[in-house]
Amino acid sequence: MDRVQMDSFIDRLLAAAKEAGLETAEVYYTEAEAFSVGLMKGEVDSYEVSTSGGLGLRGTVDGRMGYAATEAYDEDAIAQLIEGVKESAALNEAQEQDTIFAGDAVYPEIGKPESDLAAWSAEKKIALAHEIEQAALSRDSRVSQTQGVSVSTSRGVRILRNSYGLNLRREGEVCVAYASPIAREGEDTSTGFKIAAGYRLGDVKPAELGAGAADDALAMLHAKPVPSGDYRVILRREAMGDLLATFSGVFSAENAQQKLSLLAGREGEKIASDAVTLMDDPLLPGGFASTPFDGEGSASRTKAVIDAGTLTTLLHSRKTAKKQGVETTGNALRAGYAGAVRVGPTNFFIRPGEKTLEQLMAEMGDGLVITDVSGLHAGANPISGDFSLLSKGFVIRDGKQAEPVEQVTVAGNFYALLKSIRAVADDLRFDGRSIASPSVDAGVMKVSGK
Amino acid sequence: MIHPSLAQEVLAKATATGGDFAEIFLEDSRSHSLLLKSGHMDSVNSLRSHGAGVRVFNGTSAVYVYTNDTSREGLIACAQKAAAAVTEGKGCAPIPLNPSDARRPEEIRVLPGDVTAARKAEKLRAADAAARAVSGEIVQVNARYSDTVQDVLIANTEGTFVTDRRVYTRLACTAVASDGTENQSGSTNPGASMGFELFDSRVDPEACGKLAANQAVTMLHAPVCPAGVYPVVIDNGFGGVIFHEACGHSLEATSVAYGISEFSGRLGEMIAAPCVTAIDDGTIPNEWGSEHVDDEGMPTTRLVLIENGKLVGYMIDKLGGRRMGMAPTGSGRRESYQWAPTSRMRNTYIAAGKDDEAEMIATMGEGLYAKAMGGGSVNPATGEFNFAVNEGYWVKDGKIVHPVRGASLIGRGSEVLLRIDRVGRDMRMAQGMCGSMSGSIPVNVGQPMIRVSSLTVGGR
């Protein structure tokens, strides 16, 4: 739907909502145009083009909030949305109700990265995918196949409008490319994975991406489990980033207030080692979650959630902040156009330290460096903080990376991990994600192997 | 939804540049969900999902274009965008469309749309109250009700023009037990391809609440699971996730077609112990993973994957079939119009065997009895899988001695299938959402109680 048609639909919807007796109402609309191409064995194996979006309406009846959403904008849609909101509001019994926000006086300016994606044809993107695949397959004779190579681009817009006249809009573009080569030698098989993301297709360096992914797979050939026991462990940035993303919910005031996080009421306490400063930065230039406004229209701001080990604040929406008697941190989160407003991080990362990963390994002497953890949706419990995860990595011997390790689990507890981090490396990278971490020296962890 | 003549026109446009097959998938879904948190109705959501996808094949290459705009102009634009990506194809001769409605063996007695939200809410309150009554240590109960009615139309250049209605209803209950410094959770998520009659015959909300709460309290008082390599007994029901991860995904055409899977090219070989027979069955009426027609318009099937240890079948979608030179098996599935379909599981289970459940534990020595499993994942290229144990018990000298928490199981599919040394008699299934290349779809996993002679147990 074009911009004029959508504006007109929203005008009619908000007018009808008022007419139907909704005291306040808000529309959240998202739309994306996307392209992706996948290669397999030198051929285009998938090619996808889409235009899709949806619209969520929330509004209050007797001060209680209701929700409904649609992807159809036909004659029935307005009536269905309003009926849905009314039914939903009538059942809502939450003790603290969300409210629609009239808006802040000022919103921060975020430099929008200059993007050239619109100018690239499908043929150019396919050619880029071929270059990546070639770089992976020509790296070494043991790499003769991939699980997939893909280049995708998308352009999105989100609009937040409400009955107070607030009208916020944000557009963004991104390209993402990945390669996942398979290395085989004798009976042994291993896989590698590298991803690159940016705002210009030039941000994807095909040779570097393809060869890097192939090296990743080759390095893991002939990996073996190590004996079970306690090991000094470095979590490389990919693994630590995955853990931080999985457990990011523990920093939500919403979870804390519902006793789903053990950080409830612990602001001002030391919850991590001195090495840990955890940032939530919605204003990060080029950040994949950068935004001037949050999911309910509050102005975004940057904050340290953990400052040198001390919990300074949890992440708040207006509702959770009101309950606790503090100001919102601008972390109201809309997971999509449908559903309730939740609380969550924006660009969320552990602030990098001074040392390189190699220095951390040298200082450790003997131990393991874990490069990959899998099964996070299953092997990590965001409520207890416990995790026990299938992991890959390398032995560290005499301060240097040695033979590869697989078929082991690394187990621990996220809350305990925060305290046991001895040092943070300087190698923070986002690679298309909004939650990331540098590599960390995680102290001693339980490893289950052979 | 749309008239066959419009479908015919869209398919003709889609194949105008040489595509040798084209398909339209049109969807209009209504879903409703209620979330009860801490005893209060927190949010009630209704969603109307609506859109269409056009897919074109040229040999073994596929193009997929989707949109929310299902007007004539929108569909034609989709077809043109798809056709624009095809060059030098051999084209296809149009076949007249033969309109039909999918055969549906079960009757939906109470459509979710005919039930008030207040009645749905009662089920959540019942689950919540039952969970809280279990123990003062239960600090939080989240109960979620959800239903979906998905109306679809699938038309293709092979003459298919089929409409179908899929109805799903589910209850999910999670309880959290806490002693102030530690939290543990328990959960259960039963559902079926049914309407609100789910609660008449299959699902008792109070029993769900109790089960989730008991699991949480048990785990709160459990020591951490020892780590190492041990025999493992896995209970029936959701225990079937081990087959789903360790083997099922690696038998999907998505992995098999390009020789990625460790089971590629191994039809007829013994890939499992002789006591293992495994089946993927889309035909069981009312089951969570069942279908009438798949998302490519093919009637669903019952497919034997492994027979007495021997690999006899793969799960194959249309495109996978072209790549493998084999016939599709009614296994093409997708989350919604926003995904191109691919080969996926339905109700996948290890068939009942002959072994005595008590004997399995009595003769296992020291190891883990995994009573309730969590989710898992697999890398089909290497076969490496992992999954979580939500409720586990430690066994010593063949006797269950105490519960253990935080356990996970890892291994390789090809190895674990050969190490199954007992298959019990009471096969049960449980419901899950499976995420893969064509999105998140409802599937059943299932098995009788089984024993694996050795498996790496990740504990602490």
DSSP A339-378: S--EE--SSEEEPP-SB-HHHHHHHH-SEEEEEEEE-HHH
3-state secondary structure string, chain B?
A: CCCHHHHHHHHHHHCCCCCCEEEEEEEEEEEEEEEEECCEEEEEEEEEEEEEEEEEEECCEEEEEEECCCCHHHHHHHHHHHHHCCCCCCCCCCCCCEEEECCCCCCCCCCHHHCCHHHHHHHHHHHHHHHHCCCCCEEEEEEEEEEEEEEEEEEECCCEEEEEEEEEEEEEEEEEEECCCCEEEEEECCEECCCCCHHHHCCCHHHHHHHHHHHHHHHHCCCECCCEEEEEEECCHHHHHHHHHHCHHHHEHHHHCCCCCCCCCCCCCECCCCCCCEEEECCCCCCCCCCCECCCCCECCEEEEEECCEECCCECCHHHHHHHCCCCCCCEECCCCCCCCEECCCEEEECCCCECHHHHHHCCCCEEEEEEEEEEEEECCCCEEEEEEEEEEEEECCEEEEEEECCEEEEEHHHHHHCEEEEECCCEEEEEEEEECCEEEEEEEEECCEEEEEEEEECC
Query: Within an 8 Å CB–CB cutoff, is residue B419 touching chain A?
Result: no
Question: For residue A34, what are the CA distances in angstroms to A155, A172, A321?
Answer: 6, 12, 36
Res A293: pLDDT: 97
Per-window interface: B 260-319 vs A, CB < 8 A: 260, 262
- Which three-class secondary structure state does DSSP give residue A309? coil
Per-window interface: B 157-176 vs A, CB < 8 A: 176
Res B460: pLDDT: 64
For A40, the token pair is 């397999």
Scan for tokens 């089946």, then name that residue. B279
The mean pLDDT value for B236-249 works out to 93
The answer on pLDDT for B1 being more than 90 is: no
CA A155/CA A74 separation, integer angstroms = 24
For A149, the token pair is 């190579």
Q: Is the Cβ–Cβ distance between B32 and B45 less than 8 Å? A: yes
CA A136 centroid distance within chain: 26
In chain A, how many H helices and how many E strands? 10, 20
A411/B460 Cβ within 8 A: yes
Q: In percent, how much of chain B has pLDDT > 70?
A: 100
- pLDDT tens digits along A84-97: 999 999 999 988 88
Mutate to test the interface with B, among A390, A414, A447 (most CBs of B within 10 A): A390
- pLDDT tens digits along B382-396: 888 888 899 999 999
Of A93, A182, A377, the CB nearest to B381: A182
- Which three-class secondary structure state does DSSP give residue A177? strand
Using pLDDT thresholds of 50, 70 and 90, give the confidence band for residue B332: very high
The mean pLDDT value for B6-28 works out to 97
- Which three-class secondary structure state does DSSP give residue A425? strand
B65/A91 Cβ within 8 A: no
Task: Tell me the chain B residues in contact with residue A90 when contact means C-beta distances shorter than 8 Å.
Answer: 117
Task: Tell me the chain B residues in contact with residue A186 when contact means C-beta distances shorter than 8 Å.
Answer: none
pLDDT tens for chain A, 450 residues: list them: 788 889 999 999 999 999 999 999 999 999 999 999 999 989 888 999 999 999 999 999 999 999 999 999 987 899 999 999 999 999 999 888 899 999 999 999 987 778 888 889 999 999 999 999 999 999 999 999 999 999 999 999 999 999 999 999 999 899 999 999 999 999 899 999 999 999 988 889 999 999 999 999 999 999 999 999 999 999 999 999 999 999 999 999 999 998 889 999 999 999 999 999 999 999 998 899 999 999 999 999 999 999 999 999 999 999 999 999 999 999 999 988 988 899 999 999 999 999 999 999 999 999 999 999 998 877 788 888 989 899 999 999 999 999 999 999 999 999 999 999 999 999 999 988 999 999 999 999 999 988
Question: For residue A371, what are the CA distances in angstroms to A140, A405, B341?
Answer: 22, 10, 32
Mean pLDDT of chain B: 95
Mutate to test the interface with B, among A6, A29, A33, A50 (most CBs of B within 10 A): A50
CA B345/CA B347 separation, integer angstroms = 7
Task: Tell me the chain A residues in contact with residue B438 when contact means C-beta distances shorter than 8 Å.
Answer: none
Distance linking the first and last C-alpha atoms of chain A? 57
**pTM recorded for the entire structure:** 0.91
Q: Please give the radius of gyration of chain A, using alpha carbons only, rounded to the nearest integer.
A: 24
- A429 min Cα distance to partner chain B (Å): 25
- B354 min Cα distance to partner chain A (Å): 31
Quick one: which H or E segment has residue A332? strand A332-333
Q: In percent, how much of chain B has pLDDT > 90?
A: 87
- A383 min Cα distance to partner chain B (Å): 6
The answer on pLDDT for B376 being more than 80 is: yes
User: Chain A residue with minimal CA distance to B61?
Assistant: A45
- pLDDT tens digits along A23-45: 999 999 999 999 999 999 898 88
Query: Within an 8 Å CB–CB cutoff, is residue B412 touching chain A?
Result: yes
Domains and CATH numbers, chain B: 4-220 (3.30.2290.10), 228-458 (no CATH)
Question: Own/partner pairs for A41-44, CB < 8 Å, 24+ apart?
Answer: A41/A145, A41/B258, A42/A130, A42/A133, A43/B60, A43/B61, A44/A126, A44/B61
- A350 min Cα distance to partner chain B (Å): 25
Scan for tokens 């192997």, then name that residue. A449
Q: Is the Cβ–Cβ distance between A206 and A179 less than 8 Å? A: no
Q: Between A and B, how many CB-CB pairs are < 8 A?
A: 243
CA B344/CA B249 separation, integer angstroms = 8
Nearest to A6 by CA among A31, A26, A24, A32: A31
CA B337/CA B439 separation, integer angstroms = 10
Res A97: pLDDT: 87
Res A90: pLDDT: 94
Res A139: pLDDT: 96
